[in-house]
Structure 1
Amino acid sequence: MVKKKTTTLDSIEASKTYACTFFSQRNNDAAPSFCVFAASAGDVLEWSDIERLGPGVQGVQRRENIAKRRQISKFFENEANTIPTAIVIALDQSKVSADENQLTIPITSGPKKPGLVIDGQHRLLGISDFDKNVKVPVVAIMNATDTEKAFQFLVINNKGSKVSQNHIKALALTFKPKDLSQRLKAAKIALDSERLGHVEIINGAGSPFANRVDFPTTKGKLKKIVPEAFERSLQYIESLNLPKLDDHDVQRDFFVAIWKAIVAAWGDAAFSDNCKLTEKVGIICMSRFVVDRLAAMADLDELDLDLSDFAEVASQVTKLLKRQTIEFWNAKWKGSGYDTALGHTKVLEALVRISRNIKDGREWEADVDIV
């Protein structure tokens, strides 16, 4: 049964009214009731807070991931793309006015808004960045205690089942495979969890490696880099369990951000015929060298680098490159066999030595054993 709640809306600047449906899943007073309605993303942000875990913060929401927020906004640039998943909000029932099929929410100037986002912060923020007038489905928890809010957050984020890869592939066969694949690629979503799908996206528009991956389907004469170079690099990033990089799509975009900065600094020289930087050994070793240093920056309280802020990541990569040189990758290396575990170790040691040499004002090749 719907629980009616009528409240006089005082001391407010404005209010928003929505047609809605109330219902309860349990027939007892201990369980919360729900209200389902549609509202623009901008509206929801006007009357809802997003509180995050962190120093001095008591809310239930996780820290914002800038990369995920941007992915949502980018996703909506395709006019065919939509997200039907609801935003879950806890509403302070003492601050709203409700009847059988209508809900009025005040927009207050005070420090605490009537709503609190329980799930969907990145969807909400990303959609609002794209166009705050885009509507989102909302499920409001009407009479939740602080404990209930935390409980709902934990349940939603730990008990939800991911769609199996077999199910996804079955859908791809049921519908037009080419159309579905193209749409997923445009949205920068890999069809499955295999890294090869992410390499295909790295080979596409907006990447410094566009049309440079040695796939049979790659058009043009630029292709030269074997897919394994990217697969191994993405695998290394995932293995580090870096903060805010727990999603395969975000890990891929983090990798692309690093290499955009490298290519911006060294230009076409990075892709010259004899340059080892964009061979397998170069991609793997340079990626690992840079990622290790960015990870160290993220761990230092003094720097507290946000690895999901790709603009800041690129800025830090540019600074790191001031102690590196493209000449190393164009130089003749002693012997061969560097595309091995031992070879990779030697290249990484060389990169560390070059960084120290340039910092100390020495010639970059001093004591670099492999040149």
Structure 2
Amino acid sequence: MDILNGCRENQVTWGIIEFSFEQNEQEYLKPALIVDGQHRLYGMSDFNEEDLPITVVSLIDATPQEQAFQFIVVNNKAVRVSTENVKSIVADFNEDELEKRLVLARVKYGDKPLILKFLSDSPTSPFQNLLEWSYNRESTEESQLVPITAIEQAMRYIRKCFTVLENDEDSLIEFFCATWRAVKGNYPELFGKNNQFMRKANINAFNEYITDRLLYFWEMDLLDIFDSDEIAEKVLDIIKRLPKEFWLEDWKLRIQDTPNFREILKNDFKIIITNCKLGKQWSYGLELVQTEE
């Protein structure tokens, strides 16, 4: 087997790796494991005299746990590996560590929804350790600010608006994370803190308001929804005129997770934008905030 040690132009060196094994040895004692491509190799074995070239991506000295992880992830991309099969493969390994890696690779494991696990665990998720559920082992009760129903509702709304993402879970997750990373970056004093900004009704109203405008940009060919940087840029354009002070005011209405309250909130967003464009005080004419002109 030829091993490609470098990929830059004029910096490629070649080497040979050889190994031998007994055909009747148990599988786990053999020195190599093929994670994907077994059928292609089997077919090529009928043409040994042709000296056919083949590209190989190899992991040298991979531990059994690493082999199990790679097998599950690679094979899961084409056809989902059932949860029962995943559990049987990883039964003899450090379950907590392997489960965490599987979640970050977006492979379903256990009985918790994959998207929620990823958003709870991943360093790229703006909601890391903020979800309110028993699975969230890394956070304290005080930091579990966001009900998982808020995330589920937000995801449903995005799916409804962008039907192209309905069966593309990876892109849906990245769309959601890119959106809310931009929100988090715009409101660092509020995000992840125990305040009304982080309430379920407000998260979903804000998510609907932003998603509606991203949908318009996409329909007008002004946004590539598969480009995280473009999404973040558009989100900042949408929310940059909505001051943090709005979220810190004492609102005239009690926060309620109802369609009517979310409509009031989204309408106030529109009024704030109009006020800023007309040079008025941002809070003029709002239904939630009572301020002099």
Look up the match of 1:263: 184
Q: Which deviates more, 328-337 or 285-294?
A: 328-337
Cα deviations by residue, 1:227-264 (Å, 9 ceiling, x for unpaired): 11111111211222354674223212211111111111
Look up the match of 2:201: 281
Measure the CA separation in 1 of the matches of 2:158 and 2:4: 38
Measure the CA separation in 1 of the matches of 2:157 and 2:49: 54
SS in 1 for 2:284: coil
User: Which of the pair has the greater relative contact order for Cα pairs under 8 Å at 6+ separation?
Assistant: 1
Work out whether 1:338 is the aligned partner of 2:256.
yes
Q: Which has the higher helix share?
A: 2
Look up the match of 1:232: 153
Distance 1:306 1:168, change over 3 A: same
CA displacement at 1:41 relative to structure 2: 12
Look up the match of 1:290: 210
Look up the match of 1:116: none
Cα deviations by residue, 1:324-350 (Å, 9 ceiling, x for unpaired): 122222222223252112222221222
Asked whether the 8 Å contact 2:205–2:265 carries over to 1, the reply is yes
Look up the match of 1:102: 51
TM-score, normalization by structure 2: 0.66
Measure the CA separation in 1 of the matches of 2:100 and 2:241: 40
Asked whether the 8 Å contact 1:40–1:134 carries over to 2, the reply is no
Percent identical across equivalent pairs? 24
Look up the match of 1:198: 115
Measure the CA separation in 1 of the matches of 2:56 and 2:34: 14
For residues 48-67 of structure 1, the aligned pairs below 5 Å read none
Look up the match of 1:66: none
Which amino acid letter does the alignment assign opposite residue 342 of structure 1?
A: N
Distance 1:251 1:39, change over 3 A: farther
SS in 2 for 1:336: coil
Cα deviations by residue, 1:86-123 (Å, 9 ceiling, x for unpaired): 5xxxxxxxxxxx99523479xxxxxxxxxxxxxxxxxx
Distance 1:292 1:168, change over 3 A: farther
Distance 1:320 1:85, change over 3 A: farther
Distance 1:192 1:254, change over 3 A: farther
Look up the match of 1:211: 129
Q: Which blocks of at least 5 consecutive residues in structure 1 are unaligned?
A: 1-17, 20-37, 44-81, 87-97, 106-131, 137-159
Asked whether the 8 Å contact 2:186–2:240 carries over to 1, the reply is no
CA displacement at 1:40 relative to structure 2: 10
Counting matched residue pairs gives: 237
CA displacement at 1:296 relative to structure 2: 1.0
Asked whether the 8 Å contact 1:350–1:369 carries over to 2, the reply is yes
CA displacement at 1:297 relative to structure 2: 0.6
Measure the CA separation in 2 of the matches of 1:297 and 1:268: 28
Measure the CA separation in 1 of the matches of 2:247 and 2:58: 51
SS in 2 for 1:203: helix
Which amino acid letter does the alignment assign opposite residue 200 of structure 1?
A: K
Measure the CA separation in 2 of the matches of 1:180 and 1:265: 34
Distance 1:214 1:41, change over 3 A: farther
Measure the CA separation in 2 of the matches of 1:290 and 1:189: 29
Cα deviations by residue, 1:261-295 (Å, 9 ceiling, x for unpaired): 11112212334433x22111121111111111111
CA displacement at 1:218 relative to structure 2: 3.8
Measure the CA separation in 2 of the matches of 1:330 and 1:255: 25
Measure the CA separation in 2 of the matches of 1:193 and 1:293: 34
For residues 1-371 of structure 1, the aligned pairs below 5 Å read 84-85=35-36, 100-103=49-52, 134=57, 162-164=80-82, 167-168=85-86, 177-191=95-109, 195=113, 197-204=114-121, 205-216=123-134, 217-220=137-140, 221-243=142-164, 246-274=167-195, 276-301=196-221, 303=222, 305-371=223-289
Asked whether the 8 Å contact 1:290–1:317 carries over to 2, the reply is yes
Q: Which deviates more, 333-342 or 185-194?
A: 185-194
Asked whether the 8 Å contact 1:39–1:135 carries over to 2, the reply is no
Which amino acid letter does the alignment assign opposite residue 159 of structure 2?
A: E
CA displacement at 1:172 relative to structure 2: 6.1
Cα deviations by residue, 1:196-246 (Å, 9 ceiling, x for unpaired): x32232222232222222233242342222111111111211222354674
